[in-house]
Amino acid sequence: MSFSNEQTEELKVKLLEEKKRILSHLKTAKKNSSFGENIDDTDDETEETEEFANYLGVERVEEDAIHDIDVALEKMKEGLYGACEQCGNQISYELLSIEPESALCKECKLAEK
């Protein structure tokens, strides 16, 4: 890992902040949803199922994001953070400062699209 301690620390803070933001959003989404409250009210069932499906979609995206962040934090602990999973090259600090959970370097990201 060729980043300075300051840079790594900065990226770690970003990762932790992002995780916190997503977690609190997930929590709010769960709190605002009324799923399970109208169990006896069968009239709403269809509508509620649809709503629930949408809700699960958002939740899955956010849980994926949390997973990526956790993987990045784990790599940081092991000193593997910042290496591209595809080609093994160093991911630029520029890219990581925008997307700290990124597991691919710019070239591999572009090649993927």
Which residues bind to Zn ion, rule: CB under 5 A?
84, 86-87, 89, 105, 108
Q: What's the min distance (Å) between Cβ of 82 and Zn ion?
A: 11
Is the Cβ–Cβ distance between 101 and 15 less than 8 Å?
yes
Among candidate residues 91, 61, 63, 59, the one with its CA nearest the CA of residue 75? 91
Q: What's the min distance (Å) between Cβ of 47 and Zn ion?
A: 45
Residue among 13 and 111 whose Cβ is closer to Zn ion = 111
Q: What's the min distance (Å) between Cβ of 110 and Zn ion?
A: 10
Residue among 62 and 107 whose Cβ is closer to Zn ion = 107
**Rounded Cα–Cα distance for residues 14 and 22 (Å):** 12
Residue among 7 and 86 whose Cβ is closer to Zn ion = 86
Q: What's the min distance (Å) between Cβ of 71 and Zn ion?
A: 16
Residue among 11 and 105 whose Cβ is closer to Zn ion = 105
Three-state DSSP state, 22: helix
Is the Cβ–Cβ distance between 105 and 88 less than 8 Å?
no
Tell the residue number behind the tokens 């997930």, with chain if given: 26
